Structure 1
Amino acid sequence: MMELISQLKQLGYTEYEAKAYIALVQNNNVTAYQVSKDSKVPRARVYDTLNQLVEKGLVMKEETPDQTTYSAIPISIFIQKTKQQWQSNFTSITDQLKILEQKKKEEENQILIIRDKDTILSFCTAMLKRAKEKVLISMWDDVYNILREDLEEIGKKVPIHGITINVDNPIAAVDQHRTTNYIKAQTTAHWFIIAVDGNEMIYGPSPFRKDLAFFTDDAFHINFLEDYIWHDVLVNRLVKRSDDNLNDWITKERSSFFLENNNNN
């Protein structure tokens, strides 16, 4: 019985209302005195409690010259009424929260930190499934292979472009990065970027190496990193078209630019 009382309270009824209603379900057409006796609702509170239930449409009140009695509405009607009220509240809450969420997005763009490998990968999957226009990616094989099925499925609906590193047979429209000394180096950081519809982006180091990623809907960040992906794709295509072996030259230029003392490419 206590569990039922607790469940009714979760629906918004007070403890006295729940106890009085349960008592009436068990014994209809009774006086307030009998309800108080059966439900353990204090006599000083039982009349107010019953009147509240009458106003809520859960209890019927019958007045005669001799006495006033109370009856619970049929359970089937109570269930239907509760379902309709819950659905109405659920719809209202959903609509209001979406308005607040949209208002927040309009007022201030976000840059959020996401931690935990499984959370990061789940976030990637959820973003991909929201894609309606395009997806841009840059990622190594560790992340790509986890998201491969999602990428292939989404690729049937929206175009996916970008570049992959050490990935066998990526989606047709996605470029494969050339193999270089820099790519082969064990110390090379494995980063990933996923941009969806130009509206949201998640990026960071490989979650298999570090439990950290960043989500943003800030247009500046998105445009900047989308341009980074395009630049990487473009350079990769230009180098593949060249007849010259540019690895040595690229190695020297990179070392000079980043003030490095190694010969990684």
Structure 2
Amino acid sequence: MEKILQKIQSLGFNQYEAKAYVALVYLGASSAYQVSKQSGVPRARIYEVLEGLEKMGVVMKEEVNEAAQYSPLPVEVFLESIKQKWEDTYTSVQQELKAVENQRPKADPRVTTIKGEETILSFCRILLRRAQSRIIISMWDMMYEKLEEDLQKMQKTCSLKGIVFQVENPLPNLVIHRKTDYVDNIGEKKWFIISIDGKEMIYGHPVEQNGNTFYTDDPVHVSLLENYIWHDVLVNRLMQESKENLQPWISGEREIFFNK
């Protein structure tokens, strides 16, 4: 019960209002005394609380045998009205904040750290929705699964290209990285990159690794990482076309190059 009361309060109701409404949902049409007894709202405050809920349209009042009876707005109607109010508020705030943002002086290119799984995923989805013509990605399996639906939607209006790791049946135009010892044993060194329209990108550790993630609109970062993805795609295509087994040579050269 405590959880539902807290969630109702998060919709803009105070503690007594939440308790009174839930009590009415449980009781049905009731007197103020019954609501007070069921909800725990003090009798000295219950009439004030119920009148406030009545003004909000959440509670209905009628006189029955010269006594006031209170009824709750049906749950489905209550939830629909809250949803509509939230959507109207969201639209209004979105428009006003965008207007403020558009007035901001043009900033120099930047790199910003982003933290928190939900924040990172929300940032990725918003960035993808901003794409107008081109999306380039490099992504491992778990992060791909979280964003596959969003990528699929954007593929209808944008060119989607890039490379994925340990993913089966990816979306068209995404290259599957070949199986190598490096890929199989990479451990916690995985990454993801999403670049849109060659203008801005988000990159870093996948959310399951709880590491660092960064957003940038710096053209140097964008160009370097897009070319990194293209190089990875090209090598994998060349390996598919080659009749020779070049993987042992590539692995050896990689070890020599990165040997400290």
Q: 5+ residue gaps in structure 2?
A: 1-91
Quote the residue 2:248 is aligned against.
Answer: 248
Contact persistence 1:203–1:215 (CA under 8 A): yes
- 2:101 maps to which of 93, 97, 106: 97
Normalising by structure 2, we get a TM-score of: 0.61
* Equivalent pair of 1:116/1:212 in contact (CA under 8 Å): no
Q: Are the counterparts in 1 of residues 164 and 176 from structure 2 also a CA contact under 8 Å?
A: yes
Q: Residue 116 of structure 1 contacts residue 211 of structure 1 at CA under 8 Å; is this kept in 2?
A: no
Give the whole-Å Cα distance in 1 for the aligned partners of 2:98 and 2:206.
35
1:131 and 2:131 correspond:
yes
Unaligned runs of 5+ in 1: 1-87, 261-265
Query: What per-residue deviation string (whole Å, max 9, x for no partner) do you get for residues 137-158 of structure 1?
Result: 0000010001010001100110
- C-alpha separation in 2, matches of 1:235 and 1:89: 47
Q: Which amino acid aligns with 1:204?
A: G
Q: 1:247 to 1:109 in 2, by over 3 A?
A: same
Where do residues 85-164 of structure 1 align in structure 2 (5 Å cutoff)? 94-100=98-104, 103=105, 106-164=106-164
Residues 16-31 of structure 1 mapped to structure 2, 5 A cutoff: none
Q: How far did residue 98 of structure 1 move?
A: 1.2
Distance (Å, rounded) in 2 between the aligned partners of 1:90 and 1:198:
26
- CA drift of 1:189 comes to 1.4
1:192 touches 1:206 (CA, 8 Å); kept in 2? yes
Q: 1:89 to 1:200 in 2, by over 3 A?
A: closer
Who is 1:204 aligned against?
204
Identity rate of aligned residues, in percent? 41
How many pairs were matched up?
Answer: 170
Contact 1:132/1:158 (8 A) holds in 2: yes
- Deviations 1:148-180, CA, capped at 9 Å, x for gaps: 100011001101000001111111111111111
Matched letter for residue 196 of structure 2:
V
Match in the other structure for 1:236: 236
For the residues of structure 1 that align with 2:94 and 2:233, how far apart are their CA atoms?
46
Give 1:96 shift: 4.1
Q: Say yes or no: does 1:167 pair with 2:171.
A: no
Structure-1 separation of matches of 2:97 and 2:185: 52
Give the direction of change, closer, same or farther, for the CA distance of 1:157–1:91 in structure 2 (3 Å limit): closer
Cα distance in structure 2, aligned partners of 1:187 and 1:171: 25
Change (3 A) 1:90 1:107: closer
What CA RMSD, in Å, does the superposition of the two structures yield over aligned residues? 2.2
User: Are the counterparts in 2 of residues 141 and 164 from structure 1 also a CA contact under 8 Å?
Assistant: yes
Say if 1:167 and 1:93 are closer, same or farther in 2 by CA, change over 3 A: closer
Cα distance, 1:107 vs structure 2:
3.4
Q: Distance in 1 between matches of 2:196 and 2:94?
A: 29
1:96/1:146 CA distance change after superposition, 3 Å: closer
**Shift, 1:211, TM fit:** 3.5
Letter in 1 for 2:254: R
Q: Distance in 2 between matches of 1:92 and 1:165?
A: 41
> Which residue of structure 2 lines up, in the alignment, with residue 24 of structure 1?
none
Give the structure-1-normalised TM-score: 0.60
| 8 Å CA contact retained: 2:137, 2:195 | yes
Q: CA, structure 1 residues 158+220, in 2 after alignment: closer, same or farther (shift >3 Å)?
A: same
Shift in Å at residue 97 of structure 1? 3.3
1:187 corresponds in structure 2 to: 187
